[in-house]
Amino acid sequence: MVNQSSPTGFLLLGFSEHPHLEKILFVVVLCSYLLTLLGNTLILLLSTLDPRLHSPMYFFLSNLSFLDLCFTTTCVPQMLFNLWGPTKTISFLGCSVQLFIFMLLGTTECILLTVMAFDRYVAVCQPLHYATIIHPRLCQQLAGVAWGIGLVQSIVQIPPTLKLPFCPHRQIDDFLCEVPSLIRLSCGDTTFNEIQLAVAGVIFLLVPLSLILVSYGAIVRAVLKTNSRKGRRKAFGTCSSHLIVVTLFYSSVIAVYLQPKNPYAQERGKFFGLFYAVGTPTFNPLVYTLRNKEVKRAFWKLLGKDVDSGES
């Protein structure tokens, strides 16, 4: 699969035309990465140790946290290396591995967020049947399907991308190896690759997003029919965290993968891609921990403090 037009790898230009911005971005990316490691590891730890978090909602949240840990670790170390010094190279093998894992995890997160929306739909709209419908075996199966679809998408999408005839300058106008950037680097016919990427965008971005919106439409209707103000507040509180995460993730991913072909959109896409790769994995644990009383209770319990004092 090694492409003879790029024997020594690629040059990741990133934001090299703004050297002062690179130093600022290095600090921002490093701090975000450390917060990502801390926040998502904490969620995994709490979900494992606290019996009250052994529920479908936190099972899927644990999968999301593990995914975010892998997601950022795939690209951030290379990104920090490139931002810190003048060397912007990445080997062909390194680019291939990054591309494969990045596609796998990105697709998996699209499906996983849809599964989490289905879980919230059943919890709000079918509360009496929730335990029967969302049982542990189904949770494992749904998570397995999400990871399996991500793997299949990588196997299908990545080989044709890596076989493209890349231009001799080997300069990728991005800070990591992504399919749109490698397609733009090609000096040959990319019609098949562009069609393949567009179809994947519809199947793995627009369709899951539509299902999520339909789920939340049903949730809103069900909540508005509830006479209890406390019940409404609890339902909206439970779903709002997931909806914030969905908004952050899909808005940045769509801006990267479904952007029009022009220089302005390409430059803007790099910032959205940076937020997609670094920002969303950082914000996810913050959103779920700061807005979730059960997670905060588990955190204070882990520290050996009284729950009431932790909530005050």
Count of CB atoms situated within 10 Å of the CB of 98: 17
Q: Which amino acid is at 113?
A: L
**pLDDT score of 20 more than 60:** yes
- Positions of E strands within the chain: 10-12, 89-90, 171-172
Domain boundaries, the chain: 15-302
* pLDDT tens digits, one per residue of 33-69: 999 999 899 889 988 888 888 889 889 999 999 999 9
Which two tokens mark 55? 């529920």
Q: For position 169, what pLDDT does the model report?
A: 85
223-232: long-range contacts, CB 8 A cutoff, minimum separation 24: 223/124
Are 277 and 249 a contacting pair, CB within 8 Å? no
C-alpha closest to that of 190 among 160, 215, 156: 160
Rounded Cα–Cα distance for residues 228 and 66 (Å)? 36
Q: For position 221, what pLDDT does the model report?
A: 86
| DSSP-based helix, strand, coil % in the chain, nearest 5 | 80, 5, 20
* pLDDT tens digits, one per residue of 76-114: 888 888 888 777 888 889 889 999 998 999 999 999 999
Are 276 and 249 a contacting pair, CB within 8 Å? yes
Residue 91 half-sphere exposure toward CB, CA atoms < 13 A: 4
Any idea what DSSP says for residue 37? H
Q: Which residue has the higher pLDDT, 210 or 174?
A: 210
Homologous superfamily of domain range 15-302: Rhodopsin 7-helix transmembrane proteins (1.20.1070.10)
